[in-house]
Amino acid sequence: MSTWISKGAFALALALLVSACVPSASSAPGKAVRSKSYLGGAAVAAGPAGYCIDERASRDNPGGAFVLFGTCAALSGVPGAGQPASPALLTASIALDNSETPTSDRFAAMSRFFQSTAGRAALSRSGRPETVTVTRAFSGNGVLYAKISDVAGAREGLDPGYWRAIFGMRGMLVTLSVMSHSSRPADDATLRRTLDSFIRAMRAANSGTGAESL
């Protein structure tokens, strides 16, 4: 249930996150896309205010998409484009869901899986279950929330603690994650607020709002 991008793309995203509002010329900023259609138009990925899609690091495949979000200011090179007070690194995984069982009816099983050895291995950046602790898992408003610590992320500059959300949307299974850089860690309350804003943005974008760019 865990999807990760290549280490090169992830390193670039982390560099943008930890940099000042505007990256250096070597970061090659360009048009910052606030939202974009994926899976042949079946889904739209959109982040909270101040976040845009890193198109170089995102992937769109027939069975699913992986979308990486950074701050709009860092990605566009435009200081006024959007820079949250406590920048985070956001990811969205969108996969076709062929199950006949409603997503919310599977939350209990998903929660048990995350806390199992196999589930913690799937969540781990290194594939090793011992690096992961699921400190909380609960559901509400059609969303399964999990507060996770993964010490394996330290090798790539990630703070161990992060939040993840899973929910169903238009016949797809959506997984959102909100992380922060170890040198600029966001507090738990900020990460959770950002995740809630991320969920609202995704749901709004898929109820009729089109893709948007700066």
Mean pLDDT, contiguous 10-residue spans, the chain (214 residues): 45 43 39 90 94 92 92 81 81 92 93 94 92 95 96 87 95 94 90 97 82 44
In a domain, 212, yes or no: no
Give the per-residue pLDDT at 81: 67
In a domain, 2, yes or no: no
In a domain, 214, yes or no: no
In a domain, 27, yes or no: yes
In a domain, 70, yes or no: yes
Q: Are 137 and 146 in contact (CB under 8 A)?
A: yes
Give the per-residue pLDDT at 196: 97
Q: Are 63 and 96 in contact (CB under 8 A)?
A: yes
In a domain, 198, yes or no: yes
Which domain does 146 fall in, by range?
Answer: 7-205
Q: How many domains does the chain have?
A: 1
Distance CA 84, CA 47 (A): 12
In a domain, 57, yes or no: yes
